[in-house]
Amino acid sequence: MNLKWIISGLIPLVLLIGVLALVLINGAGIEKDPAAPVEVLNIERIKVTYEGFELSVSNTGPETLTISQVIVDDSVWNFSVSPDPTLNRFEDGKITISYPWVMGDPHAIKIITENGIITEGEIAAATLTPEASWSNFLNYGFIGFYVGIVPITLGLLWYPFMKRFKRKWINAILALTVGLLLFLFVGTLADGFEIGAEAPSVYQGNMLVIIGAALTFLLLIGFDQYQQKKQEAKGYSPFKIAFLMATGIGLHNFGEGLAIGSSFALGEAALGTFLIIGFTLHNITEGIGIAAPLLKTKPSIKHFLILGTLAGAPAILGTWFGGFIFSPIWGALFLGIGAGAILQVIYVITKMLVEDHRAYKEPSVSWLNLSGFTIGMLIMYFTAFFVKF
């Protein structure tokens, strides 16, 4: 061991610690007292009960805060906070408000801290928040079932029809699948950002989406390459591509389930029902997409069942999660993971398409493929009208 060598490594480290300590102790030299109190209260979830409202809140600001008043629908109201109206940094609290809410009406809740900082919460249409009862659990499961598994299975049913296509047409359908997936990718990212924006700012919901997407994408690609190297197989096995696709779409459908479950939990039954119809129609096309890579092979019915379940069942988990334990932070992370998984499938299919055309010495962006891709995008664009309004 060379002592000099070790010391040469330690010197910069010690100096760095010294500089940091200096800044921490003396400040950066331009510090001032903040002009206004910085109090950040975050409403995580509003539960509507027989008695009134229960708000889960957390102090995500830099300082301790005290909840002093609650105004419901422009009326000062009695409330209690457990464990205490004074919340330390990152401390959670539960505000209980006894209030005669009206079924189906919107209600607005303002929480005012000692320094007059107002945090607003909203109930779009009041209805009892579903309790985690067995019957509710089953009902949410059913919704997930016919939003996820049913339409995807229906989509897979086109398989025998598509089976008779020639190679060129099969490739066009694969291109169409890329179109579908690209749309789903962007949509899932956007949903992630939307939900992420609702999370407390310290958790940086948007970054969670990006991190989730990037890591998932790279992990799946890495895993894929490792598998191929191990098997020394050339090219991708079609079933594996369909399998990967089903996984990616499954994560995306988790997000759909999340949207449905949470809209019911937030009392927006009409929106929830609309989402169910929209997603169901939308998801038929996902079944077509999953079937596309298998067109050159002869899969068994078991394969279809696995694929349908893999892609559809996460919708069930999503509705449960959204209905009973939803929080924007988790939502953002899951949607990020979904987007990453979809991106990886896009990558794999595109690569496969390009390689296939190269083998036949054809241009990979043929007019037929371009049309397929465009039609894929357009199908998603128009079926999405059922969901967005």
Partner 1 sequence: MSEESNLSRRDVLKLGTAGALGLAGSYFLNNLAPFSTSVKAQSHRPNHSKMNHNQMVGNMTKTSGYKMAEKLLTTFDYGKVSKLPTGQTLREYEIVAIDKEIEIAEGIKFPGWTYNGTIPGPTFRCTEGDLLRFHFINQGSHPHSVHFHGIHPPEMDGLVPISPGQKFTYEFEAKPYGMQIYHCHILPLARHIHKGLYGNFIIDPKTPREPALELNMVMNGFDLDLDGENDFYTVNGYAFAFMNYPIKVKKDQLVRIYLSNLTEFDLLNSFHLHANYFTYYPTGRNDNPSQFTDTIMQCQGERGILEMRFPYKGKYMFHAHVSEFAELGWMGFFEAE
Question: Which CA distances in Å does 353 have to 64, 218, 243, 356, 361?
Answer: 58, 20, 17, 5, 12
Whether the Cβ atoms of residue 241 and residue 234 lie closer than 8 Å to each other: no
Find the binder of partner 1 among 93, 196, 250, 299 (CB under 8 A): 299
Token look-up 């997603």 returns 279
Q: Closest approach of Cβ 300 to partner 1, in Å?
A: 4
Per-residue contact string for residues 127-146; x = within reach of partner 1 by CB under 8 A: xx----------x--xx-xx
For residue 71 the two structure tokens come to 């105004």
Kindly state whether residue 124 participates in binding partner 1, applying the rule CB under 8 A.
Answer: no
Q: How far apart are CA 246 and CA 249, in angstroms?
A: 5
Find the binder of partner 1 among 303, 364, 371, 378 (CB under 8 A): 303
Which one, 101 or 373, has the nearer CB to partner 1?
A: 101
Q: How far apart are CA 60 and CA 23, in angstroms?
A: 24
Kindly state whether residue 94 participates in binding partner 1, applying the rule CB under 8 A.
Answer: no
Q: Closest approach of Cβ 297 to partner 1, in Å?
A: 4
How many residues form the binding site for partner 1 (CB under 8 A)?
Answer: 62
Whether the Cβ atoms of residue 72 and residue 120 lie closer than 8 Å to each other: no
Q: Closest approach of Cβ 148 to partner 1, in Å?
A: 11
Q: How far apart are CA 223 and CA 216, in angstroms?
A: 10
Kindly state whether residue 104 participates in binding partner 1, applying the rule CB under 8 A.
Answer: yes
For residue 297 the two structure tokens come to 């092979």
Q: How far apart are CA 316 and CA 319, in angstroms?
A: 5
Q: Closest approach of Cβ 92 to partner 1, in Å?
A: 20
Per-residue contact string for residues 202-231; x = within reach of partner 1 by CB under 8 A: ------------------------------
- Angle between helix axes 301-320 and 269-291 (nearest 10 degrees) is 160
Kindly state whether residue 47 participates in binding partner 1, applying the rule CB under 8 A.
Answer: no
Q: How far apart are CA 140 and CA 264, in angstroms?
A: 10
Which one, 280 or 285, has the nearer CB to partner 1?
A: 280
Find the binder of partner 1 among 47, 54, 69, 137 (CB under 8 A): 69
Q: Closest approach of Cβ 116 to partner 1, in Å?
A: 4
Which amino acid makes up residue 57?
V
Token look-up 């465009």 returns 374
For residue 24 the two structure tokens come to 């921490």
Query: Among the candidate windows 22-30, 173-181, 214-222, 234-242, which touches partner 1 by CB under 8 A?
Result: 234-242
**Dihedral sign, CA of 28, 31, 34, 35?**
negative
Find the binder of partner 1 among 82, 88, 115, 231 (CB under 8 A): 115
Token look-up 């249409």 returns 125
Find the binder of partner 1 among 56, 68, 228, 309 (CB under 8 A): 68
Kindly state whether residue 272 participates in binding partner 1, applying the rule CB under 8 A.
Answer: yes
Is 135 strand, coil or helix?
helix
Q: What is the binding site for partner 1 (CB under 8 A)?
A: 50-52, 66, 68-69, 71, 74-78, 98-100, 103-104, 110, 112, 114-118, 125, 127-128, 139, 142-143, 145-146, 149-151, 153-154, 156-157, 159-160, 163, 237-240, 264, 269-270, 272-274, 276, 280, 297-301, 303-305
